[in-house]
Amino acid sequence: MANISSKLRKELKDLSEGQAVLVISKSKDVIKTNIQILKLLMDGNFGLYITVNQPYSSLKEIFAKNRVNINQMFFIDCVTKRVEENPEENERCVYVESPNNLTDISISITEALEAIKGKKFLFMDSLSTLLIYNSAGSLAKFSHFLISKIKLLKVTGIFISGKEKMEKSLLKQISQFCDRTIRL
């Protein structure tokens, strides 16, 4: 994991506003990778975290254990409402009905990015999980839309994908939209 940490630090140190980065990680390392990236990005930045992997309540606990300050983050949770009809309201999180509702996710992202002032980043925790709920074509279009949006708004974007769970052709397509791809 130390090699991954140094590679991430090297690759992300000169990241500028409006750049999009696709990070391809082994599925078993995704949480650790996410934590390391967040720690690198949090310095003076406000984060918008889109979670399609785990509920916000679980992420809060994981981040607390790993000393990730969520006071500098807002979450869009695409998981909780699939299993809990009325999740507890929270000022740090918006709950989207389902990961297959890319329109609602897009609207929530746009509203959140416009509301956040100052230097910010967007963090999508799993493109590969979105593929479970959406077709490859829909995911490619959504990724293109989202990457174009962050570039126009000068927001840094990090998109995580599990190495084993994405079609190679789709990864290739999404990596074309990004400024760089980091393979771990």
Please give the pLDDT value at position 58: 93
123: in domain: yes
The answer to whether position 8 is within a domain reads no
Quick: pLDDT tens for 48-82. Answer: 999 998 999 999 999 999 999 899 899 999 999 88
- pTM equals 0.92
Sign of CA dihedral 166, 172, 173, 175: positive
Q: Is residue 144 part of a domain?
A: yes
Specify if 15 maps to a domain.
no
Q: What digits encode the pLDDT tens for the residues 111-168?
A: 999 988 889 999 999 898 898 899 999 999 999 999 999 999 999 999 998 876 667 7
175 located within any domain: yes
Domain membership flag for residue 10: no
Q: Domain range spanning residue 108?
A: 22-183
Residue 156 sits in a domain of what CATH number? 3.40.50.300
Report the interhelical angle of 136-153 vs 168-177 (nearest 10°): 20
Domain count, the chain: 1
